Amino acid sequence: MTPAIEAVDLRKRFGKTVALDGINLVAESGQVLAVLGPNGAGKTTFVRALSTLLRPDGGELRVFGHDVSKQPGSVRRLIGLAGQYAAVEPAMSGRENLEMAARLFGLDRKTAKHNAARALDQLGLDEKDAGRLVRTYSGGMRRKVDLAASLVGTPRLLLLDEPTTGLDPRSRIELWEAIRSLVEQGTDVLLTTQYLDEADHLASRIVIIDHGRVVAAGTPKELKARIGRNVIEVHVRRFEDLVPVARVLSSPNNGAPRIEEATRRVTLSVEAGIGRLRTVLGAIETAGLEVDDVSLRAPSLDEVFLALTGRPAEEKGAQ
Ligand SMILES: Nc1ncnc2c1ncn2[C@@H]1O[C@H](COP(=O)(O)OP(=O)(O)OP(=O)(O)O)[C@@H](O)[C@H]1O
Ligand SMILES: [Mg+2]
C-alpha cells in the first residue's frame, strides 16, 4: 500500500538557519505518527512542507504518493491542517466558522452544512456550543473548533501541529479522545508535539527530530525500551540537603544522580520497575534526610533527549 507520508532527504533552509537537514521518514496508512522534538526542531516547517505551504529546497516529499511540489492540488485535497495556533474567527459561532471553512474548501452550501455538522459531532461539540460566538469559548474549545475545521473537507490525512500545547490537563485529555476517535473512524494522523506523554498516548509510531534531523524512530514501546529506564525524583526541603541526597542515591548500579539547584530536585535514572524506589526511600530514611516529595516517573522529553543525544534538549542553538 502507498504510504500516507514519505520523506526522503528533505531539506529546507531559512537564510543561514537549516530548518530541515535531510529528514527521512515513512508513515504507513493506518498509523498515527508523532513527530516529537523541542522548540526549533523543525516540526512546523515539516508540517508546512507537507501541507504545501512552503516549498522544500531539496529531497522528496509525498502524500499518498503525490509529490507536494509537483502535485500540490492533489495533496491539498487529501489533507486537513490544524496549525500550531488556532485559526478561528472569534466574531462568528463555531458552526459558522466550520461552514465558512467548508465553503472555502470549495464545497457547495448544502455539503458545507452537512460536513460542518458532521465535524461538530465528531468532536463532541453540541448544538448549544456550536451556536455560541467563538470569542466566548475556552482555549480548549477553540482548539476543538480548529480541529473540526480541518475535518470539513473529509481529509484522508490530518496534520496537527502541537494540538494540545497550552491547554489544561482536562482539555488535553478531551482533545486526545477526540483525536483517537477520528483515528478509529479511519483518518490517518500526523501530529507534532513536544511531549513524550502525548506521543505515547496517541501515536503508534514516534519520530524524534532535533536540528531538522531524525535522531530516533520507533514505536513508543521500542523507544522506551531503548531508554529502558524510569526516573526517581526527590524534592528536598533544604538546599543544603541536595548534595547529601545525591550521595545517598549514588550506587554502582545507577547512573550519576543529577542535581537541579533551581528546583531543589535530585533525579536519578533507574531501571524500570519500583524496586529501586524502595531502596532509595530506605536509604534516605536511614540517612535521616528530610524530603518534601519522592516520585517515580517515566522519562521526560528532556531526559529522552539526554539519553539519545548526550545533551539536554534546551541546549539547541536553533532559535
Ligand atoms: N519563516 C521563517 N523564517 C526564518 N526562520 C524560520 C522560519 N520558520 C522557521 N524558521 C526557523 O527554522 C527552525 C525550525 O523552526 P520550526 O518552526 O519548524 O520549529 P518547531 O519544531 O515547530 O518549534 P516549536 O516547537 O517552537 O514550534 C527554527 O530555527 C526557526 O527559527
Ligand atoms: Mg512549531
Query: Which ligand is nearest the CA of 194, by number?
Result: 1
The residue whose CA is least distant from atom 5 of ligand 1 is: 14
Phi-psi region of 186 (alpha: psi -120 to 50; beta: other; left: phi over 0): left
Counting atoms of ligand 1 from 1, which one is nearest the CA of 37? 21
**Cβ neighbours of 287 (radius 10 Å):** 12
**Pairing assessment for the beta strands 32-36 and 188-193 based on DSSP bridges:** parallel
pLDDT in tens, 14-24: 999 999 999 99
Three-class SS of residue 211?
coil
Grid coordinates standing for 161?
501541529
Q: How far apart are CA 301 and CA 318, in angstroms?
A: 17
**Cβ neighbours of 288 (radius 10 Å):** 7
Question: Rg of the chain over CA atoms, in angstroms?
Answer: 23
Q: What is the pLDDT of residue 314?
A: 61
Q: What is the pLDDT of residue 57?
A: 96
Counting atoms of ligand 1 from 1, which one is nearest the CA of 38? 25
Q: What is the pLDDT of residue 252?
A: 67
Q: What is the pLDDT of residue 313?
A: 65
At 315, phi and psi to the nearest 5?
Answer: -75, 5
Query: Which ligand is nearest the CA of 83, by number?
Result: 2
Q: What's the predicted TM-score (pTM) here? A: 0.83
The CB of 165 under 6 Å from ligand 1? The reply is no
Counting atoms of ligand 1 from 1, which one is nearest the CA of 15? 4
pLDDT in tens, 220-257: 888 877 776 788 999 999 999 999 999 988 876 667 89
Helix (H) or strand (E) holding 289: none
Q: What is the mean pLDDT of the chain?
A: 89
Residues in the chain: 319
| Of 280, 190, 192, 193, nearest in space to 233 by CA | 280
Whole-number Å distance, alpha carbon 37 to ligand 2 midpoint, is: 9
Ranges of residues in the chain whose predicted pLDDT is under 50: 316-319
